[in-house]
Chains A and B, each alone.
Chain A
Amino acid sequence: MPAQLLQGSDAVARSAIEAGCRFFAGYPMLPFTDLLEAMARLMPGAGGVCMNAETEIEAVNMALGAGAAGARAATGSCGQGIALMQEAIAEAALNEVPFVVFNMARGQQDYFQATRGGGWGDYRTICLAPKDVNEAVEHTQLLFHLADLYRAPVMMYGDYLIGHTYMSVDMQRRDYGPLPPKDWALDGRRGGTGASRQIWTWAMGKANDPGPGPDLHWQRIAAKFEDVARAEQRWESELCDDADTVVVSFGSAGPFVSQVVAELRADGLRVGAFRPVSLWPFPETALAEACASARQVLVFEVNAGQMIDDVRLSVGHRVPVRPLGRVSIDFSGMRQGEILTVPWIRERVRAAMNETVMG
């Protein structure tokens, strides 16, 4: 298929439909609104349903319901709306209902929210952070696969730049391999047929057919997330092998850091870039290896310092880990502010290298 010029939100919507998503629900909130509008426009033609819910709480629970019935379902919002969705995300993680949450964030200040979650119980949320529109298209399809593979709600960490930038996009269906049958999905039978099923966070079962109960059920889910943590770490590493300084960034910030690294390399500076593609599970082993020869690790994130915690957990105390970003939001409050530019990052990386590596 030839490449098409698509705006990020439109491209993500098309990719979701290509992946078999047939239910979408959301409540308008910039910069997520464009994705909701694209879904509303495209879903009926694909034979699916897009609901403009009355709140984010309603939207996420609609997605949970559609997922429980076996559909490929999704919802989304930005940080404020995702905050409202946390209870349902936790419930779905613990009663094992797959769906995708498109978090079109208003910047990078929701890293903790995306990776730690705000629901209850022992659960984690797989979270992928694309660097641009093309990767968002790929992640969209991968997320539906991972959700079904692990029977869990999963999240994309996008933002204004992902949603609004146009790129030439290769919109093909990706094959991520076979999936287990959805023999757990609810089919609407209410009993008497022998086919009635139950999806219950506490897994207590029915009177005549007791379930494992919360202790065993939640232990099994915890073990599942341990497996996910080992199996699903994704990252991109550039020029780290001989690097004195490694700059870590995520999502939309990644291409800016890549360009800075290319320019500083051209000046003879030994600098590399590392980008966690999965924010959870965080690629801790790969990051530790990428920093093996480094004398400092710089963390560029457009917030007061959130991912830096995961970087420190990964590289330990062997090498100093320093923050490079700060809070920076534009006047509209919808997108990253003035620090997300190549010159801003380049001058600070250069200064940090002069101080530490040369000094």
Chain B
Amino acid sequence: MQREVVLTGIGGQGVQLAAKTLAMAATAEGRQVMMSSHYGGEMRGGQTEASVVVSDGQLRPVPILESTWSAYVMHHRYWPGVAERLRAGGIAVVNSSVANEEITAPGVRIVPVAAGEVAVEVGSAMAAGFVLLGAFAALTGLAETDSLVEAMRQLVPPYRTQHLAVNEAALRAGAEVGAGLDPVGAPR
């Protein structure tokens, strides 16, 4: 089974780090993974997007996705370009603390997660991306929470280790939110 996720947001929200964390966690679990990134020159506020393809068997991916089963949405600004690629029957997990009600797509289940508020509760608004990732992974089953935590620990550079604890708390809090939602069926 092959599943795709497009991650979208604006520069500074940690979208690329979330994508790498998910890709590394799924790889560690023995799955085949491909990840591509797309972002502009802006450090803050510009378009940032990544796609991750996870497969239980032989991966036959292309690095530029025509369509996707799921989406991880940290911000609404570049949502239209993602919405047009989401297949009916798919799912979009949305950071409802920031994204507004324009987030819809035909036949796609929209799952709001108050990632910003949850992140503040665990200690840092900066960790919202990891809250959303924890919720996304728990809901979709693309990676175990422990694998995400381990991947995050490997990816955070040595000069940012002060964020490890809150990042882990954010992933686990997000996973709790995800586990409490209606589970997803088999992807199409």
Contact = CB atoms under 8 A, between A and B. Distances in A.
Interface of A: 2-5, 132-133, 161, 164-168, 252, 255-256, 258-259, 262, 340-343
B31 interface: yes
A252 B30 CA distance: 25
Given A5-B33, A164-B37, A342 B20 contact: no
A161 B31 contact: no
Contacts of B23: 5, 166, 168
B27 interface: yes
B30 to A, nearest CB: 7
Contact of A167 (B33, B60, B66): B33
A164 B26 CA distance: 19
A342 B23 CA distance: 23
Contacts of A256: 62, 64
B47 interface: no
B24 A5 contact: yes
Closest 3 A-B residue pairs measured CB to CB?
A: A166-B35, A168-B27, A5-B27
A4 B36 CA distance: 16
Contacts of A340: 64
A340 B36 CA distance: 15
B34 interface: yes
B60 A259 contact: yes
A4 B25 CA distance: 10
Interface of B: 20, 23-24, 26-28, 30-37, 59-64, 66
Given A255-B60, A255-B61, A259-B60, A166 B33 contact: yes
Contacts of A341: 64, 66
A168 B62 contact: no
A256 B37 CA distance: 18
B175 to A, nearest CB: 21
23 contacts: A2-B28, A3-B30, A5-B33, A5-B35, A132-B34, A133-B34, A161-B63, A161-B64, A164-B37, A165-B36, A166-B34, A166-B35, A167-B35, A255-B60, A255-B61, A255-B62, A256-B62, A258-B60, A262-B60, A340-B64, A341-B64, A341-B66, A343-B66
Contact of A5 (B20, B60, B62): B20
Contact of B62 (A4, A133, A167, A259): A259
Contacts of A168: 23, 26-27, 31-34
Nearest to A8: B63
A165 B66 contact: no
Contacts of A165: 34-36, 63
Contacts of B28: 2
A83 B79 CA distance: 41
Contacts of A258: 60
A5 B37 CA distance: 14
A342 B32 contact: no
Given A4-B27, A5-B27, A5-B35, A166 B62 contact: no
Nearest to A131: B62
Contact of B66 (A4, A132, A342): A342
Nearest to A4: B27
A147 B176 CA distance: 55
Given A5-B20, A5-B23, 8 more contacts: A3-B32, A5-B33, A132-B34, A164-B37, A165-B35, A256-B62, A259-B62, A341-B64
